[in-house]
Structure 1
Amino acid sequence: MNIVKDINRVRRTLFTGATNLISNHAERIEINDQSKINKILICRPNHRLGNLLLITPLIQEIESTFPAAKIDLIVKGGLAVPLFAEYASINNIYQLPKRPFLHPINYLKNYFKVTRKAYDLVINTVEESSSGRIFTKKSKGTHKLFGKPAKIYWGDKSDLKHIAKKPILALKELSGRSRGDAMPQLDLKLTLDELTKGQQILQNITNNNKQTICIFTFATGNKMHSKAWWNKLYLELRLNFSDYNIVEILPMENVSQIDFKAPTFYGREIRELGAVMAASELFLGADSGIMHLASAAHVPTLGLFNVTDIDKYRPYNNWSHAIDTNVTDHLAIISHLKSTLATKESIDAKKHFKAIA
């Protein structure tokens, strides 16, 4: 019996029951004068790497729609500060404690800071988030989005399920912008200095001129594939990509599902880790925060899904794919990798010839 898990289960049940009384729909008031939207609050009370990175497309959409606006974020933990360091539109980041019941004073202090401030627009990024709905409801906002776009949508229906795209569609609806515009991608906004350092670190690991494929064998809970599964895939990688380095990105737990057979990299600084992956040609790993970090570093990303909702969390930056490992065998994954690398190499070659023409 796990008392902590039982308490959390009861807390979530009570919290969800209370917040179900709060509407999920926006206060449907069209924004006729976008120049009047200057102060925006984004509610994402979560501390996980992936969940925070998944709001970067929304921030870009806001910057494009309301260029003069400043954005406040309500999140959990301190990870948001380095993640959004290069976003000039970010004003304040209110950091709730990861465990509010253990730090009630800190939680309430930030709660009152947010709810006493007036905003032109408040956005709850995830419809199912109980705490996000509460902050959105209690905040002082002229316009509010609770995370749910209109039921009628003529575009790609999977966009309505994707956790990063859904609030963007709701914002487009409120602002009157075309839904046909390309969706912003996850973006860590790595600087040139950071990218250069990432290349140097990767070069020091591999000590050769080969291109690199990064893998991440860890994941939380049932999302993690077995050692037998990963070792079989690693063998296929070695056989089919002998012209590439295979570098394993290690989690903070310092564990490896392939028992450290490949060269490894472990980084405590999240932006540095993103820069190292940005220097690679491709990332392969299970649905995780590191998968989303690779996507935000603009690496072609192959996400391995076995339990989580693919349509909700799939990577969608250039040349990326989500693979359901319940129905896709190792050889099919290798085929996906070859196709992705071939596409990337072809496009990179076209860019090179265009640059020197």
Structure 2
Amino acid sequence: MAHRNTINATGFKGWIKRLRRGNRQRFNRLLTRVFGTVEPRRRPFASDTRRILVVRLNKRLGNILFLTPMLRSLAASLPAATIDVLIQDARQKPLLEGLPGIGQVWVQEKSLRATFGLLRRLRSIRYDLAIDPSGNSTSNRLALALARTQQRMGFAARDQWLPLTHAAPRPDSRHQALQSVELLQSSVTDFDWKTFNTLAVFPCAPSHKLAQRHWQTAFAGQARATTTTVGFFTRATGRKQFDESWWREFVTRFRKRLPAARLIQIRAPDQPEPIAADIASVTIAELDVLAALLGRLHAFVAADSGPMHLAAAAGVPVVGLFKATAPASYAPLGQGCISLEGAALDPSAAVDAVAERARQSSAFVA
């Protein structure tokens, strides 16, 4: 009986979720017919475009890092502009603050009172351009609707209820990071864009100093080496994760293939011990410090996850393992990065790919 009740509850919750989603879609389409932007609108920028707001209200680390090619493109193409960003997770704020052209990184707090306070601060600023780089976020659209701006940029769609001055068609690229760059190119005329197609973060000097301490602690007791150092991260969400036996085999094969190299495991906060007692490991909560530490590696291997993208953004050659998601949409974007899927998802093949990345890498070695 309890089992049947669980099934019924799950089914009812699923039905409610589908009903809410359907009602939201119908409401969006109704608003779109009255106010929205169904067809692309490609227009020149206003000549006084100097203050820009980019909205990405999503907590996933990868999605925030996917902003970096667009943010760098804006800064390089509009060097006199100040770019503010609105996000949801305060831990990600330092990653964006180090990018060129960034002014204020606003964080949407959880409490209603804090949200209204943030809205008042945002409304006190007159933006020249506000951008929604995602084509399917109601929160992003609401933020753009409430911002004081003369130009709004986003993707045209049959459920795009927000009136946009600059609207791009459905992007050609499947990769989430490159779609936002296409948004710039496809919605503005008479403008020469300087674009970027890789992720990037630039940790500050204090972040590098803290990373150095973590590095020294992780390798304490080991002789100071100038050998190859490879990092790995064993966690991922849902079906993207590989089991511990896969990673144990990876470690075994790695040591046979690269006996002079050393490994360091990046542990999740709820992962108290490394998968092997003699492997150096580290847990770092501060994402900018973690990025600084990752930047010291010769190579990094992980399933599709936030740390995988952070390593690519830190300039590390990454081997991304894709079991349940598509590399076309979520591949690590960086020099020397590669994605493995299908039959290549074998520990031996992963070690071969890591060895090649590490051989080519000129990463800093402590």
Structure 1 length as normaliser, TM-score? 0.81
Q: How does 1:3-18 map to 2 (within 5 A)?
A: 14-18=23-27
Identical columns (%): 23
Shift of 1:267: 1.1
Equivalent pair of 2:55/2:144 in contact (CA under 8 Å): yes
Q: Can you list the C-alpha shifts for 1:287-306, whole angstroms capped at 9, x where unaligned?
A: 11111111121111111111
Match of 2:45?
31
Change (3 A) 1:308 1:17: farther
2:273 aligned with 1:273: no
Match of 1:190?
203
In structure 1, C-alpha distance between the alignment counterparts of 2:349 and 2:98, rounded to whole Å: 38
In structure 1, C-alpha distance between the alignment counterparts of 2:120 and 2:356, rounded to whole Å: 52
Shift of 1:27: 4.2
Q: Which runs of 5+ in 2 are unaligned?
A: 1-5, 157-166
**Secondary structure of 1:73's partner?**
strand
Match of 1:122?
130
Aligned partner (choices 239, 242, 247) of residue 222 of structure 1: 239
Shift of 1:322: 1.7
Matched residue type, 2:241 = M
**Secondary structure of 2:249's partner?**
helix
Shift of 1:192: 4.5
The root-mean-square deviation of aligned C-alpha atoms, in Å, is: 3.2
Equivalent pair of 2:133/2:183 in contact (CA under 8 Å): no
Change (3 A) 1:316 1:245: same
Equivalent pair of 1:123/1:147 in contact (CA under 8 Å): no
Match of 1:45?
57
Q: Can you list the C-alpha shifts for 1:72-118, whole angstroms capped at 9, x where unaligned?
A: 222113123222232353333332235xxxx3333344345445643
Equivalent pair of 1:26/1:145 in contact (CA under 8 Å): no
In structure 2, C-alpha distance between the alignment counterparts of 1:256 and 1:26, rounded to whole Å: 52
- Per mean C-alpha deviation after superposition, the further-off stretch among 51-60 and 245-254 is 51-60
Equivalent pair of 2:155/2:170 in contact (CA under 8 Å): no
Q: Can you list the C-alpha shifts for 1:127-174, whole angstroms capped at 9, x where unaligned?
A: 122221332344333222214675598xxx5xx211111111221231
Equivalent pair of 2:129/2:151 in contact (CA under 8 Å): yes
Change (3 A) 1:189 1:25: farther
In structure 2, C-alpha distance between the alignment counterparts of 1:256 and 1:145, rounded to whole Å: 46
Matched residue type, 1:250 = R
Match of 2:160?
none
Q: How does 1:1-357 map to 2 (within 5 A)?
A: 14-20=23-29, 21=32, 22-23=36-37, 27-31=41-45, 33=47, 36-87=48-99, 89-97=101-109, 103-111=111-119, 113-114=121-122, 117-147=125-155, 150=168, 160-173=173-186, 174=188, 176-177=190-191, 183-192=196-205, 194-195=207-208, 197-206=210-219, 207=222, 208-209=224-225, 210-254=227-271, 258=275, 262-325=279-342, 327-344=344-361
**Secondary structure of 1:233's partner?**
helix
Change (3 A) 1:275 1:14: farther
Q: Can you list the C-alpha shifts for 1:327-352, whole angstroms capped at 9, x where unaligned?
A: 5322222222222223335xx8xxxx
**Secondary structure of 2:361's partner?**
helix
Q: Can you list the C-alpha shifts for 1:38-59, whole angstroms capped at 9, x where unaligned?
A: 1111010112222222212211
Change (3 A) 1:232 1:335: same
In structure 2, C-alpha distance between the alignment counterparts of 1:249 and 1:92, rounded to whole Å: 30
In structure 2, C-alpha distance between the alignment counterparts of 1:292 and 1:25, rounded to whole Å: 33
Change (3 A) 1:37 1:194: same
**Secondary structure of 2:73's partner?**
helix
In structure 1, C-alpha distance between the alignment counterparts of 2:101 and 2:40, rounded to whole Å: 23
Match of 1:352?
none
- Per mean C-alpha deviation after superposition, the further-off stretch among 144-153 and 219-228 is 144-153
In structure 2, C-alpha distance between the alignment counterparts of 1:104 and 1:195, rounded to whole Å: 36
**Secondary structure of 1:142's partner?**
coil
Change (3 A) 1:79 1:14: farther
- Per mean C-alpha deviation after superposition, the further-off stretch among 332-341 and 123-132 is 332-341
Q: Can you list the C-alpha shifts for 1:179-209, whole angstroms capped at 9, x where unaligned?
A: 7x65253222123554355345324422330
Structure 2 length as normaliser, TM-score? 0.79
**Secondary structure of 2:332's partner?**
coil
Equivalent pair of 2:82/2:102 in contact (CA under 8 Å): yes
**Secondary structure of 1:268's partner?**
coil
In structure 2, C-alpha distance between the alignment counterparts of 1:92 and 1:193, rounded to whole Å: 20
Equivalent pair of 1:25/1:146 in contact (CA under 8 Å): no
In structure 2, C-alpha distance between the alignment counterparts of 1:127 and 1:152, rounded to whole Å: 9
Change (3 A) 1:83 1:19: farther
